[in-house]
Amino acid sequence: MHFLNGITILLVYQLVGEVTVRLFGLTIPGPVLGMILLFITLVIRGGAGKALDSATGALLGRLSLLFVPAGVGMMVYFSRIMNEWLPIAMALVLSTVVTMVVTALTMVGVQRLMAKRSRDDG
């Protein structure tokens, strides 16, 4: 019963997210708004509870399975991927490396800046 109650809660938040996004013409996906609303609820309530933990564990524990049906859709785009393999491969590898380096160095830099400032103040 926990799992069913948990999945119901998740679906209700998704539904509220989807309806709100359409109502106000927002550009974020409905489930993301649902996630934000659920997060706010958890902060206010101070915990997820057994039902949500059970459904979340089941869904996120096998998250990769959920990508499969969409991924199989690449058979529809096979010729596109073959035609554009070079830009796709370059973009994926180089951009992933650059993103990792920039994110890590920015965080290290800001941490050093804050440590220096608190030393100067103290």
Partner 1 sequence: MVETDLAQIWVYLHTSPLLGLTVTLLTYGVAHRLYVWAGNNPLLNPVITTIGMLIVFLLLTDTSYEEYFEGGQFIHFLLGPATVALAVPLYEQLPRLRAVWIPVLVALVAGVLVGALSSMAIAWVFGASPETILSLAPKSVTAPVAMGISEEIGGLPSLTAVLVVVTGIIGALLGTKLFEWLRIDDDGVKGIAMGVSAHGIGTARAFQVSPMMGAFSGLAMALSAFATAVLLPGMIDLVRAVFPGLLS
Q: Does 80 bind partner 1 (CB under 8 A)?
A: yes
**Tokens 């290290």 found at:** 108
Can you read off the two tokens belonging to residue 43? 């902060």
Classify the C-alpha dihedral 26-32-38-42 as positive or negative: negative
Q: How many CB atoms lie within 10 A of CB 55?
A: 21
Which of 4, 22, 50, 102 touches partner 1 by CB under 8 A?
102
Which of 22, 50, 95, 116 touches partner 1 by CB under 8 A?
95
Residue 15 Cβ vs partner 1, minimum distance, rounded to whole Å = 9
Q: Binders of partner 1: how many residues, by CB under 8 A?
A: 69
Q: What are residue 27's phi and psi, to 5 degrees? A: -95, 0
Residue 46 Cβ vs partner 1, minimum distance, rounded to whole Å = 9
Residue 25 Cβ vs partner 1, minimum distance, rounded to whole Å = 11
Quick one: which of 58, 45, 47 has its CA closest to 6?
58
Q: Are 33 and 15 in contact (CB under 8 A)?
A: no
Interface contacts to partner 1, rule CB under 8 A: 7, 10-11, 13-14, 17, 27-32, 34-36, 38-39, 42-43, 48, 52-53, 55-56, 59-60, 63-77, 80-81, 84, 86-88, 90-108, 110-111, 114
